[in-house]
Structures are given as C-alpha cells and as structure tokens.
Amino acid sequence: AQTVTQSQPEMSVQEAETVTLSCTYDTSESDYYLFWYKQPPSRQMILVIRQEAYKQQNATENRFSVNFQKAAKSFSLKISDSQLGDAAMYFCAYRSSPGNQFYFGTGTSLTVIP
Amino acid sequence: GAVVSQHPSRVICKSGTSVKIECRSLDFQATTMFWYRQFPKQSLMLMATSNEGSKATYEQGVEKDKFLINHASLTLSTLTVTSAHPEDSSFYICSARSPLAGGYTDTQYFGPGTRLTVL
C-alpha cells in the first residue's frame, strides 16, 4: 500500500507570513493524484488543492500553491499571506489512477499567530 | 456544488444499542461512498468503501457485522453501529466520490462528521 508521510506534526506562522507544509509519499505508480485537505476545528474536511501527477505545472489556488517534485515524491503546500482562518489540521492525501482509495498522512496542525 | 451531509451530527447512546448514521450527497450522484473513523488528533482511518447497489468492501480489522453499511441509492449511504460499546465512541466521517461532481473527477467530498458517544 502507498504511504504518505507528513513529518511536521505542528507548525506555526505569523499572520500575513508564508508557511510551507511538507509531504512525501511512496509509490511505484506513474499516474496518480495528490491532494491537500484542511480540517478546521469544526472538523469538516475541505479540499484545498489538487495535483495530477502527469502535470508538471504546480497547482495554485489563490494563496495556496504546491511544490510537486515527482522524482523526489514530494508534495509540499505553501500558504502565502497567512490568515487566522487558515489555522487548522492539514492532511496530505494520495490516490492512484485508476483507483478509489485515498491514503492520508498523519496531518500537520497549523497555528496562525496574530 | 458537491455538498455532502451527515445526520446526526452528534449522538449519545447507551451501551448495547444500535445507532444509524446517514450520509447524503445533496447535489450529485455518488457512485462510491467511503466511511472513515477519526480519533482525536489523528488521521482518518478508512473503514469501508461502498458502491451503490453492491456490498461494501471493508478494510482489514473492521468488523463488518458490527459496522453495517448500506448504499441503497446514488445519494444515500448509511452506517449502522450495532450493539455499540464505549470503545466505539469516535468521530465518523463519510465522503462521496462522483465523476460528475463540481468539475473534479477525482476528488472526495466529505460530510461534516458525526460524533458518537457510547455510555
């Protein structure tokens, strides 16, 4: 089974600053999808960003962007201009193509300091 | 678009009783739904995958007789915790996947979760 590793259990960032959350994964497949989900205190999982492995261009969604390094099997999330509402648990996830099952990392708890 | 609801959001029951949790995709048809369990400050643990009209596929270690899953329609899946015990207390989350949802063909949309407390 694929494994997803988030080596930072906790991170903090000053409001308006930039923070990068790390994620690495292990797979022998060439085609797959990677995701970052956010889980705020409400515990509702919210999709932040999605990346197809066959695309070389890094995905961006407003203040959120990824650094996808396929050879290194790395998929980090950069949050620019951090806001208080960004405080949450962030999960990295992998899904093969084709396939149904998501593999989640253990999460990184992000604190935003006013 | 792509909204998934769960009901109830919170339930407290006595040991030995059964509890049913509903998961609905409100604005799309979900060919596949997933049930997760999440312990405090931990990641999501996949319990089972269900496809409409067929039996659910359970992950290793999940008791299928204890956690009954029914995916009766393209918009509804239910999880029934039978003869619940205090160790079943947890946060249960469902998600739905559909090729027609919100323009994303390979994304799971999550419900808000159900907190189960068994006394």
The per-residue pLDDT for range A80-103, each reduced to its tens digit, is: 999 999 999 999 999 987 777 889
- Residue of A102, A108, A110 to mutate, testing the B interface (most B Cβ within 10 Å of its Cβ): A102
Answer whether A100 touches B (CB < 8 Å). Answer: yes
* pLDDT for position B98: 67
* pLDDT for position A30: 87
DSSP at B56: P
Give the Å distances, CA to CA, from A13 to A16, A84, A89, A106: 8, 10, 13, 20
pLDDT of B45 > 60? The answer is yes
What gap in Å lies between CA A31 and CA B118, rounded to an integer? Answer: 42
Answer whether A43 touches B (CB < 8 Å). Answer: yes
Which residues 6+ apart lie within 8 Å of A53 measured at CB? A30, A31, A32, A33, A34, A68, A70, A97
pLDDT confidence tier of residue B91, bands split at 50, 70 and 90: very high
Specify whether the backbone of A49 is left (phi greater than 0), alpha (psi in -120 to 50) or beta. beta
SS3 A93: strand
SS3 B88: helix
Residue A86 main-chain phi, psi, to 5 deg: -80, -10
* pLDDT for position B30: 83
* pLDDT for position B1: 63
Answer whether A62 touches B (CB < 8 Å). Answer: no
User: Chain A partners of B49 at a C-beta cutoff of 8 Å?
Assistant: 100-101
Tell me the average pLDDT across B110-119.
96
Q: What's the token pair of residue A50?
A: 């999605």
* pLDDT for position B72: 83
User: Chain A partners of B43 at a C-beta cutoff of 8 Å?
Assistant: 91, 104-107
What gap in Å lies between CA A97 and CA B60, rounded to an integer? Answer: 22
Task: Please name the residue that has the structure tokens 């930072």.
Answer: A8
Residue A77 CB-density burial (10 A; 0-12 exposed, 13-18 middle, 19+ buried): buried
Which residues 6+ apart lie within 8 Å of B76 measured at CB? B22, B23, B24, B25
Query: pLDDT averaged over chain B?
Result: 90
